[in-house]
Structure 1
Amino acid sequence: MKPPSCSLFFVGILWLLATIVTAYSCPTTCHCTDRNGVVVQCTSRNLEMIPPDLPKDTVVLLLSSNHIRHVTKEAFADLHHLKELDLSHNAIETVEAGAFQAISEGLRSLDLSNNHLTSLPKDAFAKLHAPVRLSHNPWHCECSLQEVLRELRLDPETVNEVSCHTSVQDEYVGQTVIQVLDSGINFCNFHHKTTDVAMFVAMFCWFSMVTAYVIYYVKHNQEEARRHMEYLKSLPSTSYISKDYDTASSVF
């Protein structure tokens, strides 16, 4: 019979090995190297989503040139040691709120350039101190994008490549977002004005409908009253009926 201490030691070794395997497991579609932390190379692997089985000790994650369309808030939840994240040259359309929250403290570089992003949730980059590359995306310049840009550090090398593909004001299409904002334009004010105009138009339409209904109601009742009067006029008069009655009485 083996001493209990030997069994505990054996269990401890198995647990340690399982922990190491889990921490350093590499996605089958990627290539991993260990250099003061795991570097995961997943570039040009035809990925349609971010691999869920990434090593927890990943410090560099390269996911560029794939077909990724969405970044979920769970994608990097366990990668607390991540320092560099490259998501460039994908087809990313949406980034969920809080997607980078778990890695915000340690991240040193984030590349989202050359994707299909038109907007971002306001707190997408909450507490993120890393410079972010957002160039060559079809941005829609409006209030929410302006608020997002206030919360992050744009990469200085690509800041002039973040342009308005579309805009709430057509005159800014094709212009650099930062230059537009630096000129004093406030998309949020324009948004409020647009909302006020829309509300005014809606109220005007409502008032017009009510007015039209009242006019129709009055005219309809006038027509009813006119037909009623014509009907009353078409009836034999009381005096005429009385005269006929007297004539008949005298004959008898």
Structure 2
Amino acid sequence: CLSVSVFVSLSLCLWALCLFLLLLCLPPCISCPPNCQCSDGSGLMTVHCSSKNLKEIPKDIPKDAVFLKLEANQLTHIPSHAFSGLTLLQELDLSQNTIEKLDAAAFQGLSSSLKLLDLSHNQLRSLPKEALARLKAKIRLSHNPWHCECTLQEILWEVKLDPMSVNEMACQTSVREEAIGKPLVQVLDSGANFCSSRRKTTDIAMFITMFGWFAMVITYIIHYVRQNQEDARKHLEYLKKMSSGTLAVGSAASVGLEL
């Protein structure tokens, strides 16, 4: 009985040791968002979340993700810090959604490793300047119902547009009627400047403000001068009364002495 017990104990120990070694040899478990597929081919983590009817950016995206595919979903809004911590991300595909709004810090946390950001085929009409300010990646903004105005023009001066899709970025509405329905690049190449009207408005506002301050200063000076003149007149009348009283007292004293 003792021999059998020792044999069983040794067998269990060997099985436990084999199981432990097997677990050590297995690859680490990869956390992947629900309904998404994560693959680590050639050491480059790719997260596929395409055509999953997603309405929000999925959670638990692997931190070592290099390619993130979120196209053809139902995303309408990209909140602040939506991709924070994905410092190895090189390509982010958000095309073919219904995105209408980007928060100013939507892409904050993405490093200079990002090479491509695809926002084409969405419902964007405008962008906050800060959203794309620090990105060095090529950006696709085609096939959106853009409202062409000064802010959008200033953004285009700062970002690096994908040359393959830049001609497909058109003005659905605009502050300049002649730009409606035309490719934005074509409008800008023709010499149009969406910021000229803003500068004129700013100049007019500054002129009105300066004129208002000038009028206030002039009014104050006039009031001050008139007030001083009134005070001086009253003071002069007071001195005249004082001198008249002094003369009257002196005359009475002289009469008294003569008597």
Q: TM-score range by the shorter chain?
A: 0.5 to 0.7
CA offsets, 1:208-227, max 9 Å, x none? xxxxxxxxxxxxxxxxxxxx
Structure 1 portions without partners, runs of 5+: 1-15, 201-252
**Counterpart of 2:154?**
147
**Counterpart of 2:38?**
32
1:155-234 mapped onto 2 (5 Å cutoff): 155-194=162-201
Aligned-pair CA distance for 1:193: 2.9
State whether structure 2 residue 110 is matched by structure 1 residue 113: no
1:10-25 mapped onto 2 (5 Å cutoff): 21=29, 24-25=30-31
Larger-Rg structure? 2
Relative to the length of structure 1, the TM-score reads 0.67
Aligned-pair CA distance for 1:182: 2.1
**Counterpart of 1:64?**
71
Candidates 103, 107, 113, aligned match of 1:96: 103
8 A Cα contact 2:125 2:144, kept in partner: yes
**Counterpart of 2:21?**
none
Secondary structure at the residue paired with 1:150? helix
1:30 is matched by which residue type in structure 2?
A: C
1:37-48 mapped onto 2 (5 Å cutoff): 37-48=44-55
Candidates 89, 94, 106, aligned match of 1:87: 94
- What is the aligned-residue RMSD (CA, Å)? 2.1
Aligned-pair CA distance for 1:124: 1.3
State whether structure 2 residue 137 is matched by structure 1 residue 127: no
Q: How many residues align?
A: 181
**Counterpart of 1:204?**
none
8 A Cα contact 1:101 1:128, kept in partner: no
Aligned-pair CA distance for 1:195: 5.8
Secondary structure at the residue paired with 1:180? helix
8 A Cα contact 1:101 1:126, kept in partner: no
How many angstroms apart in 1 are the aligned matches of 2:140 and 2:81? 21
Aligned-pair CA distance for 1:28: 1.0
8 A Cα contact 1:92 1:115, kept in partner: yes
8 A Cα contact 2:81 2:108, kept in partner: no
Aligned-pair CA distance for 1:117: 0.1
- Which runs of structure 1 show a deviation greater than 6 angstroms over 4 or more consecutive aligned residues? 196-200
> Please, which moves more after superposition, 31-40 or 76-85?
31-40
